[in-house]
Amino acid sequence: MEYTGAEIIIKTLIDEGVDTLFGYPGGAVIDIYNALYNYRDQIRHIRPSHEQGGAHAADGYSRSTGKTGVVLATSGPGATNLVTGIATAYMDSIPMVCITGNAASHLIGKDAFQEIDIFGATMSVTKHNFMITDIADLQDTIRRAFKIANSGRKGPVLIDVPKDFTQLKYPYEKKESLPIDGKHKIVQSDLEKFAEIINQAERPIIYAGGGINSSDSSQELRALMDKAMIPAVNTIMAIGVLGPLDQLNLGMVGMHGKNSSNYSIEHSDLVIALGTRFSDRVALNTKHFAPDAKIIQVDIDQSEIDKNVVVDFEIVGDLKEILAEILSLIEEKDRKDWLAQIEEFRKEDYQPPNGSDSIEPYKIIRHVAEYFGEDLIFVTDVGQHQMWTAQYCARTKPRTFLTSGGLGTMGFGFGASIGAKAGNPDKPVVLISGDGSFTMNMNELKTAVDHQINTITIILNNHALGMVRQWQNLLYDQRYSETDIDHSFDYVKLAEAFGAKGYSCATITEFKAAFADATTQNKPIIIEAIIDKDELVLPMIPAGGTVEDIIME
């Protein structure tokens, strides 16, 4: 039987298991929406206020569920509005399929109304992209997009569909989903050598990255840590993957990581890098990263080997498979001396000051984390609040901390929290944001209200673009150029205007009361917590620095 291209798109998405679609209607996709009308009981469609929010929502859905996020936008501005969202997903290797409409194919290249070369524009921020030139390719291309998004190192894929291909008819015979590939053949001798290096090390440390999430290998990682008593640090992309908060789980490393994590890397004789890319926020100074250590690496992406830091030995392949196979080759150890040394490092960890009723960010974050427990999904925007949340969120499960790590996209959070809640309706989702980030995409509050997606948003309001201001404070002679946000903004009225519930608090007692009340409400929540403008994210190692340069106050 013949279907329009629009119907083929929707049918293929359903057959790929898509049950949630983030999208925004427009002229070039009107036929796709017309087709969607017939399938609205099978696909939940969530319309953001702005396509960027839709892209972040699809991303947040994917990060929190492990499934592919799907976003649909019209041509021209609809498509370009996706770009920041796609780039955010690309930098953090998040599988997404993005479908854009475009002008009809006879108008392509003629500067038609709302025509844009989104194929060209997104080439460098997608794993791959397609432009449909034949309706016969439509189903195959969508299926290939899902395969590419999820094969090897994951990432976003875009399909641009000129309008006429949504209107033409073609037979639809359901095909199977394409198998995910990218499994590299693992050579036994490589595993043996890898294990031997680990067995010979006296002071090994695991440096775990977002690849542990992508490959779903958190349990395999923990088994390795426990068997050989290897302590581990994590990047911001790997918050939650190290499991229980114990002596082996050292927490976050890098610019705002724990002293003990950074010292442990510094003093180790072996760094075991798993699914991570030695970014400039961790290997702040690549020349002095782990100066006394051998470095070995496992990554699914060959191009991550020797990219930022040259390693001594590597295995390219799937982490889950490699960690599972290597376990039997790893010797049990107790590593008493090394762990004792790390306990000494821990004594030098930064402790936040404890004023009784003062409203420091860490108290807010700890309170929320303790209240909701391990299933809580924390989402952040970008800036100081992001780092405070990373430091104090105490996540012990994968996919419970969603943040824009690579691109550092302010405005990511609200859309992402909507996507996370849409994908996890039974789990609490709390966005910690800042006044700068929140106002970038606060229009998505409307989306949350419209779709009854009841997230809690806590705005740590320091009336400043805090992270830039912190750098100006510490590194630019307190010349606060354009980082003070002096306007008074009534977040309570704002929330009410959108149909959400708002609170404002200036002490921790007020915050706890507001939060307790918020948990009884059945609508999206905005809680403004007014914090000190001069609050710093500590510790801090300035860009390009080493542990010698740690700033503690």
Give the residue numbers annotated as catalytic, written as ranges. Answer: 51, 113-114, 163, 467
CB of 169 to another protein, least distance (A): 25
Other Cβ atoms less than 10 A from the Cβ of 544: the count is 12
Tokens of 142: 């969508």
CB of 105 to another protein, least distance (A): 13
181 binds another protein (CB under 8 A): no
Count of alpha carbons within 13 angstroms of residue 68, beta-carbon side: 28
Give the distance between the most distant pair of CA atoms in the chain.
Answer: 72
315 binds another protein (CB under 8 A): no
- Three-state DSSP string of 74-137: CCCHHHHHHHHHHHHHHHCCCCEEEEEEECCHHHCCCCCCCCCCHHHHCHHHCCEEEECCCHHH
CB 217 within 8 A of CB 320: yes
301 binds another protein (CB under 8 A): yes
Tell me how far CA of residue 36 lies from CA of 9, 12, 84, 146, 532, in angstroms. Answer: 9, 12, 26, 19, 49
443 binds another protein (CB under 8 A): no
CB of 123 to another protein, least distance (A): 6
Strands 169-171 and 2-4, bridge-based pairing: antiparallel
Tell me whether residue 311 or residue 531 sits nearer to another protein (CB atom): 311
302 binds another protein (CB under 8 A): yes
CB of 128 to another protein, least distance (A): 4
Cα first-last separation, the chain: 70
The residue within the footprint of another protein, chosen from 2, 38, 123, 543 (CB under 8 A), is 123
Task: Note the helical H segments in 379-507.
Answer: 384-392, 412-423, 435-440, 444-450, 466-475, 491-498
CB of 406 to another protein, least distance (A): 15
CB of 307 to another protein, least distance (A): 6
The CA distance from 383 to 377, in Å, is 19
148 binds another protein (CB under 8 A): yes
Tokens of 363: 């108290």
The residue within the footprint of another protein, chosen from 45, 47, 67, 128 (CB under 8 A), is 128
List phi, psi (to 5°) of 163.
Answer: -55, -40
Tell me whether residue 86 or residue 525 sits nearer to another protein (CB atom): 86
Residues whose CB falls within 8 Å of the CB of residue 173, separated by 6 or more in sequence, listed in order: none
CB 129 within 8 A of CB 159: yes
**Binders in 10-69 for another protein, by CB under 8 A:** none
Tokens of 393: 């969120």
The CA distance from 466 to 474, in Å, is 12
The residue within the footprint of another protein, chosen from 140, 202, 246, 306 (CB under 8 A), is 306
Span near another protein by CB under 8 A; candidates 247-255, 259-267, 297-305, 365-373: 297-305
The residue within the footprint of another protein, chosen from 41, 110, 111, 124 (CB under 8 A), is 124
DSSP category for residue 39: G
Span near another protein by CB under 8 A; candidates 72-80, 119-127, 189-197, 335-343: 119-127
Span near another protein by CB under 8 A; candidates 300-308, 380-388, 473-481, 529-537: 300-308
CB of 93 to another protein, least distance (A): 12
CB of 124 to another protein, least distance (A): 6
The CA distance from 236 to 303, in Å, is 21
CB 220 within 8 A of CB 324: yes
Span near another protein by CB under 8 A; candidates 36-44, 115-123, 503-511, 537-545: 115-123
Residues whose CB falls within 8 Å of the CB of residue 404, separated by 6 or more in sequence, listed in order: 88, 91, 92, 380, 381, 382, 412, 416
Residues whose CB falls within 8 Å of the CB of residue 356, separated by 6 or more in sequence, listed in order: none
Span near another protein by CB under 8 A; candidates 45-53, 117-125, 212-220, 453-461: 117-125
Span near another protein by CB under 8 A; candidates 103-111, 145-153, 235-243, 516-524: 145-153
Cis preceding linkage at 231, omega within 30 = no
The DSSP bridge partners found for residue 501 are 525
Closest CA to 239 of 64, 409, 95, 105: 64
310 binds another protein (CB under 8 A): yes
- Amino acid in the structure at residue 347: K
The CA distance from 46 to 20, in Å, is 7
CA dihedral of residues 535, 351, 434, 83 (deg, nearest 10): 120
Helix (H) or strand (E) holding 46: strand 44-46
184 binds another protein (CB under 8 A): no
Site string for another protein, 252-291 (x = CB under 8 A): ----------------------------------------
Tell me whether residue 118 or residue 252 sits nearer to another protein (CB atom): 118
Tell me whether residue 306 or residue 370 sits nearer to another protein (CB atom): 306
CB of 417 to another protein, least distance (A): 31
Span near another protein by CB under 8 A; candidates 125-133, 322-330, 525-533, 541-549: 125-133
202 binds another protein (CB under 8 A): no
How many residues form the binding site for another protein (CB under 8 A)?
17
The residue within the footprint of another protein, chosen from 40, 106, 169, 307 (CB under 8 A), is 307
CB of 344 to another protein, least distance (A): 37
The residue within the footprint of another protein, chosen from 177, 200, 286, 303 (CB under 8 A), is 303
The residue within the footprint of another protein, chosen from 43, 178, 191, 305 (CB under 8 A), is 305
The DSSP bridge partners found for residue 402 are 379
Tell me whether residue 299 or residue 535 sits nearer to another protein (CB atom): 299
Residues that bind another protein (CB under 8 A): 119-120, 123-124, 127-128, 131, 148, 152-153, 301-303, 305-307, 310
